[in-house]
């Protein structure tokens, strides 16, 4: 799915919502309440634009910072994403949230400049295969320190777990000699996060959900920071019938000194979301 398709679908939903507003009283009678319901689940498409830069050092060479966004050919990729939360406690102020999605891309092309990555030098005109894949899982606890009938503001603490693998391999035949080199880097970055989140209830069963998270860490093999910002608009007229759109931007910048990965990762992903939701 491309950005253009996303906005066409968004416009279609907007028209559907506008038509439904002609009978708001009927919808409100059976409508759920995202500010009090115990469970809320959103399943949809996340159109990711990803710009990863990965530096891999070897035992004798310091690697270049490789722009995998360029080596993979740029462009967007559509991926399935799930967001869920569980509200518990008599005060309805406590919540556990979870997010999960993954992405895998690869591309083979002839490079026009020399690349040093790991302990190898990838020469000009080599046939380079670049691979990059990641998975994201986040689990967080949230407490609404300010809660009213039509909005709540809460603070959260959690763990943002990123698993990343990047690889470069190349082949080239010149003067009867064949070049065949390959290097891979993988890192699991379990970064804690703290954040603020606000949820507002609007007329006609619309909700606005805005969130920001941040953390800086320097411990053992890791030294870096994480930023995560998200805003979503949900229309939830029925418990099992809700639709929404949103936008998420995430950035991580971390230096790692481990056996499987000695180097640095600077990575930004962002893009729009379109999803189906249920609240009960």
* CB burial of residue 86 (10 Å; 0-12, 13-18, 19+): middle
Select from 167, 169, 279, 164 the least CA-distant residue to 224.
164
70: confidence class by pLDDT, cuts 50, 70, 90:
confident
Based on the number of CB atoms within 10 Å of its own CB, is 34 exposed (0-12), middle (13-18) or buried (19 or more)? buried
pLDDT at 82 over 90: yes
* Residue 21 predicted with pLDDT over 50: no
The pLDDT assigned to 18 comes to 44
Distance CA 176, CA 51 (A): 37
Supply the pTM of this predicted model: 0.77
pLDDT at residue 73 in the model: 77
What average pLDDT does this structure show over 210-234? 85
pLDDT at 263: 77
Question: Which helix H or strand E contains 5, and what residues bound it?
Answer: helix 3-20
Q: What is the distance of C-alpha 109 from the center of its chain?
A: 27
| Stronger pLDDT, 72 or 130, i.e. the higher one | 130
Structure tokens at 93: 């102020």
- Above 80 in pLDDT, residue 165? yes
Domains within the chain, CATH numbers bracketed:
3-279 (2.40.128.100)
Q: Counting Cβ atoms within 10 Å, is residue 64 exposed (0-12), middle (13-18) or buried (19+)?
A: middle
Per-residue pLDDT reduced to its tens digit, 29-66:
568 999 999 999 999 988 888 778 888 876 666 778 88
User: Does residue 243 register a pLDDT over 90?
Assistant: yes
Specify the pLDDT at position 190. 78
Residue 277: closest CA among 233, 215, 220: 233
Give residue 96's pLDDT: 98
Instruction: Tell me the average pLDDT of the chain.
Output: 83
Find the mean pLDDT for residues 137-142. Answer: 96
| Cβ atoms of residues 229 and 61 within 8 Å | no
Identity of the highest mean pLDDT range in 18-32, 200-214, 259-273: 200-214
Q: How many CA atoms lie within 13 A of 75 on its CB side?
A: 10
């Amino acid at each position: 799915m491309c950005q253009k398709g996303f906005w066409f679908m968004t416009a279609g939903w907007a028209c559907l919502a506008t038509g439904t507003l002609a009978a708001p009283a009927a919808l409100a009678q059976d409508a759920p309440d995202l500010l009090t319901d115990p469970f809320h689940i959103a399943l949809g498409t996340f159109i990711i634009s990803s710009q990863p830069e990965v530096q891999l050092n070897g035992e004798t060479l310091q690697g270049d910072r490789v722009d995998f966004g360029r080596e993979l050919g740029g462009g967007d990729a559509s991926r399935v994403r799930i967001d869920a939360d569980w509200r518990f406690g008599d005060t309805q102020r406590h919540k556990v949230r979870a997010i999960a999605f993954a992405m895998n891309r690869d591309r083979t092309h002839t490079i026009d400049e020399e690349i040093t990555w790991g302990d190898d030098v990838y020469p000009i005109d080599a046939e380079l295969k670049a691979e990059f894949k990641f998975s994201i899982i986040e689990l967080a606890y949230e407490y609404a320190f300010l809660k009213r009938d039509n909005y709540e503001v809460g603070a959260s603490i959690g763990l943002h777990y990123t698993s990343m693998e990047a690889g470069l391999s190349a082949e080239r035949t010149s003067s009867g000699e064949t070049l065949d080199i390959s290097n891979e880097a993988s890192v699991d970055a379990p970064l804690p996060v703290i954040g603020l989140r606000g949820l507002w209830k609007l007329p006609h069963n619309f909700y606005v959900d805005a969130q920001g998270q941040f953390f800086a860490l320097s411990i053992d093999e890791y030294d870096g920071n994480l930023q995560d910002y998200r805003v979503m608009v949900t229309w939830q007229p029925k418990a099992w019938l809700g639709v929404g759109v949103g936008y998420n931007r995430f950035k991580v910048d971390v230096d790692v000194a481990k056996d499987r990965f000695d180097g640095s990762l600077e990575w930004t992903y962002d893009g729009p979301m379109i999803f189906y939701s249920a609240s009960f």
